Amino acid sequence: MLGTAAGPAATGGGRGVRRVPGAGNPVYGTGLRRHHARMTTNPPPMTTSAGLAAARRSLEALALGDAFGERWFPLFRERRQAVNEIRARRTPQEALWHWTDDTALALALHRSLDERGHVDQDHLALCYALAFDADRARGYGHGMHLLLPQLLAAPAEWRTLAPGLFDGGSLGNGAAMRVAPLGARFHEDLDRVVEQAGLSAAVTHAHPDGIAGAVAVAVAAALSARGEFTLEAVADRTPEGPVRDGVRRAARTPFATEPWRAADLLGNGQRIRADDTVPFALWTAARHPDDLEAALWATAEGFGDVDTTCAITGGVVGAATGTAGAPAEWLRRREPLG
Ligand SMILES: [Mg+2]
């Protein structure tokens, strides 16, 4: 199982069964209220208004990327059709674009930070578990189907359960896909971004590569919000390992490269690992830092785990742009955040 080369076993072994999600239950139910009653409460530190605004921009764009990217899976259109439509920049015509686990967990993280002001890992573990429980058919990977039900019953057990997942912790892309709004929120303090991103990851993704993926994406979103986003600067703040190596490789990949070819070089998330997902998603974001629509089309050209790569790209670019420049028909079709 797992270990080193850690293939699908360490990432969760692929995605869960997908269906068109129905209306979910409220994320915050009696479980969270009971949990709050047991917890010591500290007043949340102030988050600046600039941080909150950037976080909201990033979250909206992450959800748009997630819902847009999901349209290109074979469940909705076969590959040849998808290739042709992406090449023609033809907007998917389905009336409602549902978002998936990427957005569900990004919302959980965002709301936990709103409430606590910082990453409170026990609180966050319960928020992730409640989001999962509210609608389990959002395309979660196998690892989260194993872990999150256990955290629902015992959130503080993430300390042993997350590292025990696949005998060493998940190195999947799940911690990276949800974290861009956190980076945007704390963009005024990059050391804090690195610290908080790592804490948000470890609750479910204890493997150093899973954590590094989250740090890289959060730093990218923070730099985007600051108007300072470069792949070199992201690599400089990413922990050593294959994610950082991949981001450095992305930095050396000219933007004149066609996206499908860059995906071949950098990975497209097909292996559902952080190091197979984050470098390409950040490359397209850095290629189109001021144009969310262009960034998402370029990311879609890479296929692979395309809702997740688009969620990451959207969250990073959107930290600067928000969704105001996205086509109105995309925004109409995207499932509301509630
Ligand atoms: Mg997803």
Mark the residues whose beta carbon lies below 5 A from ion ligand 1.
100-102, 139, 307
Q: Is 192 contained in some domain?
A: yes
Q: Is 103 contained in some domain?
A: yes
CA of 37 from ligand 1 middle (Å) equals 32
CA of 266 from ligand 1 middle (Å) equals 20
* Residue 66 is labelled as binding a ligand: no
Q: Is 68 contained in some domain?
A: yes
* Residue 101 is labelled as binding a ligand: yes
pLDDT of 10 reads: 58
Q: Is 147 contained in some domain?
A: yes
In the 3-class helix/strand/coil scheme, how is 208-230 assigned residue by residue? HHHHHHHHHHHHHHHHHHHCCCC
Residue 15 confidence class, pLDDT cut points 50, 70, 90: low
For residue 98 the two structure tokens come to 């549902």
Query: How does pLDDT run across 25-45, given as a tens digit for each residue?
Result: 434 344 444 444 444 455 556
Q: Is 8 contained in some domain?
A: no
Distance CA(130)–CA(147), nearest Å, equals 12
Query: How does pLDDT run across 202-217, given as a tens digit for each residue?
Result: 999 999 999 999 999 9
Identify the sign of the CA torsion 158, 101, 111, 184. Answer: positive
Q: Name which of 145, 280, 135 is nearest 204 in CA terms.
A: 145
Give Dmax over CA atoms of the chain in angstroms.
55
pLDDT greater than 90 at residue 22: no
The mean per-residue pLDDT over the stretch 235-255 comes to: 98
CA of 234 from ligand 1 middle (Å) equals 24
CA of 101 from ligand 1 middle (Å) equals 4
Distance CA(197)–CA(183), nearest Å, equals 7
Domain of 54: which CATH number?
1.10.4080.10
Q: Is 111 contained in some domain?
A: yes
Q: Is 242 contained in some domain?
A: yes
Report the percentage of the chain scoring pLDDT > 70: 86
Q: Is 6 contained in some domain?
A: no
* Residue 308 is labelled as binding a ligand: yes
User: How many domains does the chain divide into?
Assistant: 1
| Structural domain for 194, as ranges | 28-333
CA of 55 from ligand 1 middle (Å) equals 20
